[in-house]
């Protein structure tokens, strides 16, 4: 197969630069690695060779492949060694002036046809290109750390990037066994923008007294289906690094409420509590995340009355039926898609962004218990419940008893709007919808980027389609009404899809 690029230069021999160099070399490219620090490029290549040999020793790579990949990586003595490169990728400090100066130097050294790629995660590709004589040759090629392992590459076009240049970088990414996603230059691109609500909503639940850190993480994992809870992920990334990205996106969007940083995070960073790397963040290390506390208990029911039916609750009803519990249905559809059922003295309402106390007041119900959304009620390990102010402890126990009878653990949280998973999934979908509306990427691109870039179990827009856009929309409308916070305003695209009874993704 003919390679899109044969000789690749990489500037910056840190973790990202060295990883990118290894990826390109493994795909058959001759790679030149340069770093301004004496000996850094050679040290990085030596470390890559050791990593490749370790993979060969474990049988994950053939000895021949390890040797040939290592042989294609060469240290460069200065930028003039890049004169014959047809692609140069920078992975240096996140500083606009430094990147502009580097590419200006490379333009005077490399051929006019050489593609210049920046691995920036936060700086405008258009802004970098503004200082160049040939901005049409500049494109974003954003890898994720560790580059040899994570499959996603965001191929970012600035305002002046030639489409043919982005096409070539997309093709090269595929040749390098990566999954490219095209997007336009905008704050945070796809992943660093659309992922903001995952952390932001967790902070807001914590700061409103909804649940403690461990419970929020537990519910996000075992009900939300995420690989890691928001706070344990923050500890892994580094609270300082995450805060820097949040502030970058927040300021780039003129301090839009959707991206507002958390005062709790500010305090922790100021206090040196940066997560695993400092030994203390939301958890202390090496102890890490504590074991799950004992679940609440309640009596096992014999019957459930399905009061208001919902597609989102249907999988739970099937699980109840399979558990030998009788279901009595009134066959009433809930137009919002939230759904309600009665068990014992409790009226259990799927969260639609209102608190249990608010639902009881507005619908003249007694003993309301809200049920947080689960990504998949047919197989989730845990649910979160909250009782209204007038709900009795006995009614809450009736609701708990149903889930315990099904083998589902229960976390009881405070009565807050949107609970934990419901508000998180709704906000992720809303952010993804706005990214599509603004032409940052396609719905498929957003979903692919979020699955591969941050390891979400499914894309936020595919999840919204499956759960039901009426419910996602209702959660946002009710949270906006309850809190008055502009962060919960709906995307115009989401509203249009609801009104048009459409979907973000075409049915497969």
- Residues that are catalytic: 121, 142, 154, 192
CB 292 within 8 A of CB 218: yes
In angstroms, rounded to a whole number, what is the distance separating the alpha carbons of residues 314 and 217?
26
Pairing of strands 87-90, 138-143: unpaired
In angstroms, rounded to a whole number, what is the distance separating the alpha carbons of residues 235 and 268?
11
CB 100 within 8 A of CB 22: no
The residues with which 341 forms a beta bridge, in sequence order, are 306, 348
Q: In what order do the strands lie in the sheet with 326-329?
A: 326-329, 303-308, 340-343, 346-350, 368-371, 382-387, 409-412
Radius of gyration of the chain (CA): 26
Pairing of strands 340-343, 303-308: antiparallel
Q: Which two tokens stand for residue 124?
A: 């405008």
C-alpha distances (whole Å) from 326 to each of 227, 321, 334, 350, 396 are 34, 6, 21, 19, 20
Q: Which two tokens stand for residue 478?
A: 């009710």
SS (H, E, C) 103-156: HHHHHHHCCCCCEEEECCCCCCHHHHHCCCCCHHHEEEEEECCCCCCCCEEEEE
In angstroms, rounded to a whole number, what is the distance separating the alpha carbons of residues 385 and 364?
20
The backbone torsions φ and ψ at residue 497, rounded to the nearest 5 degrees and listed phi first, read -65, -40
Of 401, 335, 393, the residue nearest 367 (C-alpha): 393
Cα dihedral 336, 342, 343, 347 in deg (nearest 10): 70
């Amino acid at each position: 197969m003919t390679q899109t690029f044969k000789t690749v230069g990489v500037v910056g021999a840190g973790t990202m630069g060295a990883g990118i160099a290894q990826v390109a070399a493994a795909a058959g490219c001759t790679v030149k690695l340069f770093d301004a620090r004496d000996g850094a490029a050679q040290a990085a290549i030596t470390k890559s060779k050791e990593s490749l040999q370790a993979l060969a020793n474990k049988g994950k790579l053939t000895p021949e492949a390890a040797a040939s990949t290592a042989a294609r990586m060469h240290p460069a003595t200065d930028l003039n060694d890049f004169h014959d490169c047809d692609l140069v990728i920078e992975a240096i400090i996140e500083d606009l002036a430094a990147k502009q100066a580097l590419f200006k130097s490379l333009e005077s050294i490399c051929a006019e046809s050489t593609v210049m790629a920046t691995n920036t995660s936060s700086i405008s590709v258009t802004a970098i290109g503004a200082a160049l004589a040939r901005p049409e040759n500049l494109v974003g090629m954003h890898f994720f750390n560790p580059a040899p392992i994570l499959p996603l590459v965001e191929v970012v076009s600035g305002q002046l990037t030639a489409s043919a240049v982005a096409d070539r970088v997309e093709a090269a990414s595929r040749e390098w066994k990566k999954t490219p996603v095209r997007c336009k230059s905008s704050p945070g691109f796809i992943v660093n923008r659309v992922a903001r609500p995952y952390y932001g909503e967790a902070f807001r639940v914590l700061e409103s007294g909804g649940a403690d850190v461990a419970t929020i993480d537990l519910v996000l994992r075992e009900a939300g289906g995420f690989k890691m809870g928001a706070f344990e992920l923050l500890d892994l990334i580094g609270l300082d690094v995450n805060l820097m990205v949040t502030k970058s996106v927040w300021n780039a969007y003129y301090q839009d409420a959707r991206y507002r940083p958390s005062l709790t995070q500010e305090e922790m960073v100021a206090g040196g509590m940066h997560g695993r790397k400092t030994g203390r963040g939301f958890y202390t290390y090496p102890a890490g995340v504590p074991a799950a506390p004992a679940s609440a208990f309640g009596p096992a029911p014999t019957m459930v009355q399905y009061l208001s039916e919902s597609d989102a609750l249907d999988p739970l009803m099937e699980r109840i039926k399979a558990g030998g519990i009788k279901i009595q249905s009134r066959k009433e559809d809930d137009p919002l898609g939230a759904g309600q059922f009665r068990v014992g003295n409790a009226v259990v309402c799927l969260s639609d962004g209102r608190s249990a106390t608010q639902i009881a007041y507005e619908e003249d119900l007694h003993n309301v218990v809200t049920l947080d959304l689960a990504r998949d009620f047919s197989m989730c390990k845990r649910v979160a419940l909250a009782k209204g102010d007038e709900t009795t402890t006995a009614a809450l126990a009736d609701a708990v008893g149903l889930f315990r009878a099904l083998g589902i653990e229960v976390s009881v949280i405070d009565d807050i709007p949107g609970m934990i998973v419901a508000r998180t999934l709704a906000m992720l979908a809303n952010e993804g919808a706005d990214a599509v509306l603004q032409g940052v990427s396609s719905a498929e691109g957003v979903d692919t980027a979020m699955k591969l870039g941050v390891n979400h179990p499914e894309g936020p827009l595919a999840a919204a389609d499956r759960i039901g856009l009426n419910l996602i929309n209702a959660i946002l409308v009710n949270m906006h009404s309850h809190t008055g916070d502009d962060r919960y305003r709906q995307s115009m695209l989401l509203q249009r899809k609801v009104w048009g009874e459409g979907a973000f993704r075409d049915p497969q």
